[in-house]
Structures are given as structure tokens and as C-alpha cells.
């Protein structure tokens, strides 16, 4: 059984898998190529070869696990978390562990192999985002789960496991460290200023102007003042809202068009880069936890997009201090003009 263990210094949970790769497996892992089309079970017509679907947007009258779908969610064939069992949190000597309970799902974004997110069209992107909302709403009913983490990896350089366009949906019994930090920091700012830090950042970005890439009406896209990587950008709803799944229909339409346009710009400027994006949203609210009682006010959901352009060294990994070889002002300018 996989387990979760806590780093006693950094208060970070990690997942330890029970199948334990041998040293020689890593050479193979690093050189393994993304699957060729012939072997891709995510393509239309091969539904029977994947684990049974959990949710899908499909043509009227088509049966689950048959063709006719536009987007489809399946359990991850190689899960790091298991949906059954209880957490069994306990100490091991001075350390802390729990069972690796949670959900790992793959959202197949299109039946068509090789179609990139920016080429799907905004109607298809809207289906993908609608499924994010649906899965979040369903998974957060599980009281063992504290967070629903959604990300998309595109390209081997971004660590994508499959070449077929997909997103990953992960429900975890802990709030992942980076999100926890962000939530705590926003809470702290709120306690001091009585204002949402993200709303303040948006106001500041609109005032400064130099880092804004696009304003779509309901959303703003900008390069953050102190990013981690060159050409990082954030997409944020203008309306204050803590949770992705509370997005209105109008906002969803707007976001689908905007993301399509932004990913096209990214490709235009950077020669089809590998990239990932991560949805930053509030922790699960059912049951709402006291610790987060002001959450609706002090957190503001958004999406962070990162093209993978640079290789990180011991300096970045060991210090969490980053060196930006392109200023966010220049990056915004390139993306805006693309």
C-alpha cells in the first residue's frame, strides 16, 4: 500500500509508492518516449481499454465507454492515491504518516490524438472546464478529502505522462504545501488590510499596466511582478470569488475564449513550448473548516500558466530562489503583441 509521509522540517507531505523502482528503471523512465498514436488508449474507439469512465460529455444516446464523447474522465491507470480505506494517521517514531487515500483522475480533453488545447476551439475548452467544475463538486463531498488539485501538463518537457491532451484531477487528504502557503499568506494579508490580496494585485496590475497581457471583460491575464519562471502568467476573474466551481456561465464562456487565445499567443511567441497550468482554488468546503472561516473573503481563485523554458539547478531546488532571464514586463509585451 502506498503511504503519505510528512517531512518534519518543511511540513510537506510526500507520497511513497509501494512498487519501489529499481535504480536501472530510471534510465528507462527518462528516455521513454510519449506513446505513439497507435498505442494510445485515450483515442476514440478504444474506450474499452481504459478503466471505466467516471464522467463524460457525450452525444445524446451514446453509452458510457463507447465512442460519441467530447471529453471524458477516467481513473488514472497508475494512481498514487486510492479511494478506499481510512486515513489511519499515526506516528512512526518521531515521524508522521497516513494511508495514501484520495482520488487520481485523468480528463481526456478530446477524442482526437495530437490536438493541442489551443487548437480545440473555445467550445471544446469550455467542456473541459465544465468537467473540472463537475468533478470538483463531486469529489469535495468526500469528507476525507481536503483539496481538489487540477493541473494540465502539455509536452514531455512539462512532465506530461501522455501525448494525448489531458488534465489531471487529484483529490488529496491534505492541502498541498504550496497552496497551503498561498492560503495562509492571503489570510494573513486579509487580517492586516481587510482586503483580498488578489483583488489588490489586480488593481495594482491595472494601474501599472506594463504586465497586463489581456483583459477579456470578466478576466485579466498578466505576468506577475515576481514570477518563478520566465513567461509565467496568471489568469484571474475580476469578480472576487474563492472557488473555480462557483464560476458563472458568462465567466465560463469568457474564460474558454481567453485561455484559447492565451495558449495560442504562448505558442506563437515561444515555438510550441511545453507548458503546464494549475488551477488555484479554495480548499474543500464541505464540511467547511473553522480554520478557513474567512476563506470566501480572503482567497481568490485563478489559473497559473508556466511554459517550461529553463532547466532548474541545485540553486533553485535548494534555495527556492529563482533567476528570471526575461523580465515580466518584456514577457507581457511579447505575449500581448503576439
Residues 91-150 that bind its own copies (CB under 8 A): 92-95, 149
**Using CA atoms, how far apart are residues 221 and 235, in angstroms rounded to an integer?**
4
26 binds its own copies (CB under 8 A): yes
Burial label for 256, CB within 10 Å (0-12, 13-18, 19+), is: buried
Say whether 326 sits in a helix, a strand or coil.
Answer: coil
Among 136, 186, 213, 263, binds its own copies (CB under 8 A): 186
Query: Would you call 82 helix, strand, or coil by DSSP?
Result: strand
**How many residues contact its own copies, by CB under 8 A?**
97
Answer for which of 126, 135, 146, 152 binds its own copies (CB under 8 A) is 152
Binding mask 193-222 for its own copies (x = CB under 8 A): ----x--xx--x--xx--------------
Per CB under 8 A, 17 contacts its own copies: yes
- Which lies closer to its own copies via its Cβ, residue 178 or residue 286? 178
Reference 14, options 2, 24, 26, 6; nearest CA is 6
Q: Which of residues 37-76 bind its own copies (CB under 8 A)?
A: none
| 64 contacts: CB under 8 Å, gap ≥ 6 | 52, 53, 56, 58
Cβ contacts of 103 within 8 Å, gap of 6 or more: 75, 81, 83, 139, 142, 145, 169, 170, 171
Using the minimum distance from each CB to its own copies, give the nearer residue, 61 or 93: 93
Residue with smaller CB distance to its own copies, 72 or 211 = 211
Q: Are 103 and 145 in contact (CB under 8 A)?
A: yes
Q: Taking CB under 8 A as the rule, does residue 191 contact its own copies?
A: no
Query: Taking CB under 8 A as the criterion, which residues in 222-281 touch its own copies?
Result: 224-228, 230-231, 269-271, 273, 276-278
Amino acid at each position: 500500500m502506498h503511504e503519505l509521509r510528512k517531512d518534519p522540517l518543511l511540513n510537506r507531505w510526500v507520497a511513497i509508492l509501494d512498487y519501489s523502482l529499481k535504480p536501472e528503471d530510471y534510465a528507462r523512465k527518462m528516455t521513454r518516449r510519449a506513446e505513439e498514436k497507435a498505442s494510445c488508449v485515450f483515442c476514440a474507439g478504444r474506450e474499452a481499454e481504459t478503466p471505466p469512465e467516471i464522467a463524460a460529455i457525450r452525444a445524446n444516446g451514446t453509452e458510457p465507454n463507447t465512442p460519441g464523447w467530447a471529453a471524458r474522465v477516467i481513473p488514472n491507470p497508475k494512481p498514487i492515491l486510492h479511494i478506499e480505506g481510512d486515513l489511519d494517521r499515526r506516528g512512526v517514531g518521531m515521524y508522521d504518516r497516513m494511508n495514501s487515500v484520495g482520488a487520481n483522475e485523468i480528463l481526456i480533453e478530446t477524442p482526437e490524438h495530437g490536438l493541442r488545447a489551443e487548437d480545440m476551439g473555445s467550445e471544446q475548452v469550455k467542456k473541459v472546464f465544465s468537467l473540472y467544475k463537475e468533478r470538483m463538486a463531486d469529489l469535495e463531498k468526500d469528507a476525507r478529502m481536503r483539496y481538489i488539485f487540477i493541473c494540465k501538463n502539455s509536452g514531455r518537457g512539462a512532465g506530461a505522462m501522455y501525448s494525448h491532451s489531458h488534465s489531471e484531477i487529484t483529490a488529496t487528504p491534505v492541502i498541498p504545501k504550496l497552496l497551503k502557503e498561498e492560503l495562509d499568506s492571503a489570510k494573513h494579508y486579509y487580517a492586516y488590510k481587510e482586503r483580498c490580496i488578489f483583488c489588490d494585485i489586480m488593481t495594482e496590475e491595472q494601474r501599472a499596466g506594463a504586465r497586463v497581457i489581456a483583459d477579456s471583460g470578466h478576466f485579466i491575464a498578466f505576468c506577475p511582478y515576481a514570477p518563478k519562471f520566465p513567461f509565467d502568467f496568471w489568469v484571474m476573474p475580476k469578480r472576487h470569488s474563492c472557488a473555480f466551481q462557483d464560476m458563472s456561465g458568462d465567466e465560463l464562456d469568457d474564460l474558454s475564449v481567453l485561455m484559447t487565445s492565451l495558449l495560442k499567443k504562448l505558442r506563437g511567441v515561444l515555438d510550441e513550448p511545453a507548458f503546464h497550468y494549475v488551477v488555484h482554488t479554495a480548499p474543500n468546503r464541505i464540511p467547511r473548516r473553522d480554520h478557513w472561516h474567512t476563506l470566501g473573503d480572503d482567497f481568490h481563485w485563478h489559473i497559473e500558466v508556466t511554459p517550461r523554458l529553463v532547466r532548474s539547478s541545485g540553486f533553485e531546488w535548494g534555495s527556492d530562489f529563482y533567476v528570471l532571464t526575461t523580465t515580466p514586463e518584456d514577457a507581457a509585451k511579447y505575449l500581448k503583441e503576439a
